[in-house]
Structure 1
Amino acid sequence: MSTRIIRSFADLDAMQGQTDHVLTLFSGGLDSSYVLKELAQRHLRVTALSVDVGEGCQLHDLQEIAGFFGATLKVIDAREMFAREAVAPAIRAQARYLGIYPISSSLSRPILAKMAVKVARKLGCDAIVHTANQSQNSLRRLNGAIGQLGFQGCYGTPYERSVLTREEKIDALRLLGLTRFQARGISGDANLWCREFESGSLDNPEGFWVPPSLFEWTRTRERAPEAWELQIEFRQGEPVAVDGEAMELVPLIAHLNDTVGAFQIGRYSGLEHLAGGEKVLEVREAPAATVLMDAFRHLETAVLDAELLREKVALELLWTREAVEGRWFGTLRQSVDAFIRHASDKVTGTVTYQLRPGAMDLCSIKTSQPLYLTDRDRWEKSLVDDAFLPPAQWANLQQREESFA
């Protein structure tokens, strides 16, 4: 079957008799469950793929819904891949949307697409279906990634042109005996890096209300400490330890979400553009992202030349734009990423903060190859003294300094 973009439920009709095996991305939510219903009614063979990037999978619920519609469920833990292939590069690239908040689904959607293409090829699926809609930037990010990965079958979302209200989907599933879904409220997306929310009481940017219960990492704690000294260590551009304890990236991020989030640090609200230029409001919480990107910036400032930093800052905007626009696997983002990765190889050291409610105060930046001064008076005096040294003594002084370094 030749490549064709799926945009409506009519496109699913056209797949009958032409498609042997469909893979659909499945979260267990209303949209993906309704798509399972539509695929089942067309008697298509379906594998429902659930990819865990840190939001946590309720396996029993996934099994129940997939089994209800006769789909084969496949669950993959992709947290480590997400952390290594998406989050670590995002830290180095300081990936914030217009400098406002950490990007999130721009990072997770390429990983979902990569796993979908990998599994589809392994199982011989000739179509990949996802459930993004017109008001979600995930549509161009998933379609873009699947196309860039060279998938040869059909792919896309029937919700691009077939628009149903949440209530219509709920009623249709209720008639079949699935009664777990509720009327429309705030919509959420989560991974180990960020939790983001939209719609419902967040629809109108001119006046919106964020329920306190929405937050998980930054919720108010009954016995939260008044202050906390936090030390983060980086090695060659990647975080490797917190408070002297070595950690792998996934548990390190989880630890910082809890520790930093306890001080209500890492909440964001802001607008994001859709493909047509319209703007939608999103609310996010990302404590680990907040402190890790801040710490990385301080350390790279300590070790990198000013001109290199200026060029890197400009390229960070390009890196982020390509990710946001759904060109993750494109040559441009990958080329910029190679530059940023190379520039970050020298970023090794520790950054210390004093955490207090609503703030993180920088206390220390320490690296073994610093460009910063630790004693300005001594440095200024050495400039004057060194200016009058005979050439031979000047050369000896340089050699001693290089040997010491």
Structure 2
Amino acid sequence: MDHFKEVRSLEDLEYLTGRCEHVLTLFSGGVDSSYLLYKLASCSFKVTALAIDLGDGTNLEDLQQIAQHFGADLRVVDGRRAFVDDAVLPAIQAGAQYMGIYPISSSLSRPIIAKLAVDMAGRLGCDAILHTANQSQNSLRRLNGALRQLRFAGYTGSPYEYSAFSREEKIAALSAAGLYRFQARGISGDANLWVREYESGCLDNPENFVAAESIYKWTAANQVAVHDEVKISILQGRPVALNGLATPLIDIIEQLNLIAGSFGIGRYSGLEHLQGGEKVLEVREAPAATVLLAAYRHLETATLDAELIREKLSIEQLWVREAIEGRWFGDLRRAASGFISETAKHVSGTVSFRLRSGAADLSCIRAEQPLYLTDRDQWEKDVARQRGSRGLFDLQLPAPSICVATA
């Protein structure tokens, strides 16, 4: 253990004995977080398992059964609105895509999870916050970074950073402890209302992988298309209406996931770097993100000066870099957010798309304060007349006088 009070291995849990009275652990109900509850059950401190719903739903009965099995208190927090307002909306305004390839997700969710965990730990008087990210997951530096930046005074970290066990080993231990619900799967995932992402197992090797159709939810092949056109209204950088109806952003996202997803829109595959520079493959689906990011980009090109947009593009990648590197609450991302928020004040209007299999085709841009032309021929005539008249007037001006200064 170092002076940052970091937990990095299962052996560190022994160190906490006698130093902590109440541990808060992030809990999803999956193998990793359940195995940590199993290990914590043999320790002397009180354990609270915190499950945070970010929009993909939680099975409350499963969570309760697992937590109760290991003597932990369960707390479930609805973090959807905090996630949308504090992370997803800024991401839309920042055009937040990793290397321009796919919408970022866990970079947005982990700071919100960390903030809610710190708030809960403060209310309960916990002196440690634990999670279960490992060294092959970028969540490790994002959660650790957020907890440090939020200045939580107790112990933090993941015992899986230095203690590595296979999924099969964890399942076997849980079964031996009387918990038989887990089965070995060749893939792992992370989901929220913005993006569903999958990795590991059959997706380990980017040179030869197949993403099974069964992993998809919003873009599953058996979805029935309801609408083939969507209209998104944005007011000062915030999506406020869908198809002409005033709608909260959280509902816009949920509806677009179903509408655009039914056309198979929003599937991505791509590499992401780990902290040491190694690259791992991830597959994700994000129908609403695909359409909303496109709508916002089209509308800001209609309302912002071209030079401002060019500068914003570089600021966007700075914003994304700070988010993915686990510096969400740092000064640099905060400063970049200030620039982006200022530009968002001028982005108002409506963007429409026609949906077809795998694509959303732009069909209309209507800005409140547009910089675009609606009648190019008439504009040509007006400009020619104005500039021509000015030029003639300039030719008739008398020669400027020259004033010579004398000492």
**Alpha-carbon distance in 1 for matches of 2:107, 2:259:** 25
Q: Which has the larger radius of gyration?
A: 2
SS of alignment partner, residue 276 of structure 1: coil
Task: Spell out the pairing of 1:193-272 with structure 2 (5 A cutoff).
Answer: 193-221=194-222, 223-224=224-225, 228-272=228-272
Give the ranges of 4+ consecutive aligned residues of structure 1 lying more than 6 Å apart after TM superposition: none
SS of alignment partner, residue 158 of structure 1: coil
Aligned residues of 1:167 and 1:184 also touching (Cα < 8 A): no
Amino acid at match of 2:31: L
The CA RMSD measured in Å over matched residues stands at 1.5
**Alpha-carbon distance in 2 for matches of 1:55, 1:139:** 21
SS of alignment partner, residue 51 of structure 1: strand
Aligned residues of 1:91 and 1:293 also touching (Cα < 8 A): yes
Residue 222 of structure 1 deviates from its aligned partner by: 5.8
Amino acid at match of 2:376: R
Q: Deviations over 1:259-305 (max 9, x none)?
A: 00000000000000111111110000000000000000000000001
User: What is the match of residue 86 of structure 1?
Assistant: 87
**Alpha-carbon distance in 2 for matches of 1:382, 1:223:** 50
**Alpha-carbon distance in 2 for matches of 1:388, 1:170:** 80
Asked whether 1:31 is paired with 2:32, we answer yes
SS of alignment partner, residue 355 of structure 2: strand
Asked whether 1:115 is paired with 2:107, we answer no
User: What is the match of residue 338 of structure 1?
Assistant: 338
Residue 389 of structure 1 deviates from its aligned partner by: 4.8
User: What is the match of residue 177 of structure 1?
Assistant: 178
**Alpha-carbon distance in 1 for matches of 2:303, 2:242:** 20
Q: Deviations over 1:302-339 (max 9, x none)?
A: 00011111110010000000000000000000110011
Over 3 Å counting, the alpha-carbon distance change for 1:390 and 1:187 in structure 2 is: closer
Over 3 Å counting, the alpha-carbon distance change for 1:151 and 1:375 in structure 2 is: same
Residue 12 of structure 1 deviates from its aligned partner by: 0.4
**Alpha-carbon distance in 2 for matches of 1:374, 1:61:** 57
Residue 221 of structure 1 deviates from its aligned partner by: 2.9
**Alpha-carbon distance in 1 for matches of 2:139, 2:360:** 32
Percent identical residues: 60
**Alpha-carbon distance in 2 for matches of 1:6, 1:55:** 29
User: What is the match of residue 158 of structure 2?
Assistant: 157
User: What is the match of residue 325 of structure 1?
Assistant: 325
Residue 183 of structure 1 deviates from its aligned partner by: 1.2
Q: Deviations over 1:195-216 (max 9, x none)?
A: 0000111111010011101110
**Alpha-carbon distance in 2 for matches of 1:121, 1:356:** 49
- Mark the runs of 5 or more structure 1 residues left unpaired by the alignment: 394-405
Q: Deviations over 1:3-45 (max 9, x none)?
A: 4110001110000011011000000111001101111111221
**Alpha-carbon distance in 2 for matches of 1:387, 1:153:** 69
If the length of structure 2 is used for normalisation, what is the TM-score?
Answer: 0.94
Aligned residues of 2:228 and 2:356 also touching (Cα < 8 A): yes
**Alpha-carbon distance in 1 for matches of 2:63, 2:222:** 31
Amino acid at match of 1:368: E
Task: Spell out the pairing of 1:121-160 with structure 2 (5 A cutoff).
Answer: 121-160=122-161
**166-175 vs 282-291, which deviates more?**
166-175
User: What is the match of residue 403 of structure 1?
Assistant: none
Q: Deviations over 1:117-162 (max 9, x none)?
A: 1111111111000000010000000000000000111100000000
User: What is the match of residue 381 of structure 1?
Assistant: 381
Q: Deviations over 1:61-110 (max 9, x none)?
A: 11111111111110000100000000000000000000000000000000
The alignment covers a number of residue pairs equal to 391
**Alpha-carbon distance in 2 for matches of 1:273, 1:72:** 36
**Alpha-carbon distance in 2 for matches of 1:141, 1:327:** 7
Aligned residues of 2:9 and 2:158 also touching (Cα < 8 A): yes
**Alpha-carbon distance in 2 for matches of 1:154, 1:274:** 24
Aligned residues of 2:26 and 2:33 also touching (Cα < 8 A): yes
**Alpha-carbon distance in 2 for matches of 1:147, 1:359:** 41
Aligned residues of 1:3 and 1:152 also touching (Cα < 8 A): no
Over 3 Å counting, the alpha-carbon distance change for 1:316 and 1:222 in structure 2 is: closer
Residue 355 of structure 1 deviates from its aligned partner by: 0.5
Aligned residues of 1:6 and 1:12 also touching (Cα < 8 A): yes
